[in-house]
Amino acid sequence: MRRREFLGALGGAAAAWPVVGRAQPKKTQLGVLVLGSADSTPLINSLKDGLRQLGHVEGENVEFHVRSAGGSTARLPLLARELVELNVALIVAFQTPAITAAKQATTEIPIIMGASGDPVRTGLVVSLARPGGNVTGMSGVSGEIGGKNLQLIREVVPTAGRVGVLVNVPDPFHKSFLETIQASGLILGIEIRPLMVTGPEQLDAAFSDIAKERLAAVIVQPTLPHKRVIELALKHGLPTIAPNADYAVAGGLMSYSADQLALAREASAFVDKVLKGRKPADLPVQLPTKFVLVVNLKTARALGLTISPTLLARADEVIE
C-alpha cells in the first residue's frame, strides 16, 4: 500500500472511532413545581414553548425536573426540598401553595412564579415593583376577579340570594380570595356563605352542608381538586364557577380568570433573565393582561340551566 493510501485509510478509520473524553455541552437544570389540582401538562408545555423561543431547548441546553403534588398541598414541601437537593438553577412554581413551599425550602435558588394570587399579601414578595428576596414572576390576581365570578353567577342564576364559597384553607391565598368575594357580595346584595376546607377528604361534608342550606351556587377556590369538586357539584345539582379556565374545561359550569397559558408563557421571560444573570429581587412582578371566560354548555344542560345568548357571545370558549 502506498504511503498516501495508508494515511488516507488511517484518517478514515480515525473519523469512525468514537470520541473519548470529549466534554458534552452541560445542560442547565430547571425545577418545576406544581400543585396539580388539575392537569398541569398544558401549563408546563406553554412554559417550555416560551423558553424554546428564547433559546432554551429541552434536551439540548436545558433539562426539566417536574414535581407534581397531585393536588395535595401536604406533599409540596417534600417535593420542593427534592428540587433544592438537585441543585437546580431555578424553580418555576405554579399556584400560591407551590410557590410558598418553594420559598420555604430555599432562600438562595431563584423562584419564578408561574402564577400566584396576591403575592404581596401572601408574603411571597415585598412589593410588585421591588419583589426583594429570591421570588418574582407572574401574578394571576384571581382574588381581584372573585367579584367578577360572583357577577357571572348572578347572570346565570338571577334569583341567587345566597352563594357558597369553597375555601381551600391550606392555600395562603384563601383569605384574599374570600374577602374580595365577600366585598362584592355586599355590593350585589348576595349573602356569602364560606365553607372552609382543610383537605380533599372534607369535600363530601362541605357539599352536604351546601345542599342542606340550599345555596344557589358555589364559587370554588381553584387550588381545590377540580375533578372531585365537579363530581360533587353535579351530584347535588349545583352551579359552580372558579377563577381558572381548567375548571370549566374539566366540567365545571363556568370559569373567569387570567389566561393561565399566557401567564406560563410569559413566565419564561423571567426564567431567561435570571439565567442571564438578573436577580429576582430586581425584576418587578408582572400582572396579567388577558382574561378568559369559559362556559360549559354540556354542564349547563345537565343542571337544567339556560345560558343567555349575550353571555355566550362574551365567552372566549364555549364547551358543547
**pLDDT average, residue stretch 32-50:** 93
CATH superfamily of 146-258+292-319: Response regulator (3.40.50.2300)
104-148: pLDDT as tens digits: 999 999 999 998 988 998 999 999 999 999 999 999 875 568 889
255 pLDDT higher than 80: yes
Using one digit for the tens of pLDDT, what is the confidence trace for 262-286? 999 999 999 999 999 999 999 999 9
Q: What's the DSSP call for residue 219?
A: E
Q: Are 280 and 135 in contact (CB under 8 A)?
A: yes
Please list, in sequence order, all residues whose beta carbon lies within 8 angstroms of the beta carbon of residue 194, skipping any fewer than 6 positions away.
164, 165, 167, 178, 182
Average pLDDT, the chain: 91
Domain parsing of the chain, residue ranges: 28-141+259-289, 146-258+292-319
- Which numeric CATH code is attached to 28-141+259-289? 3.40.50.2300
Q: What does each C-alpha distance from 124 to 79, 113, 117, 299 come to in angstroms?
A: 18, 9, 10, 36
Task: Give pLDDT, residue 132.
Answer: 94
Determine the Cα–Cα distance for residues 239 and 221; give it in Å rounded to an integer.
14
**What pLDDT is stored for residue 4 in this prediction?**
46
Whole-model pTM: value is 0.87
Least confident of 15-24, 116-125, 180-189, 280-289: 15-24
Instruction: State how far the alpha carbon of 280 is from the alpha carbons of 110, 115, 307, in Å.
Output: 6, 15, 44
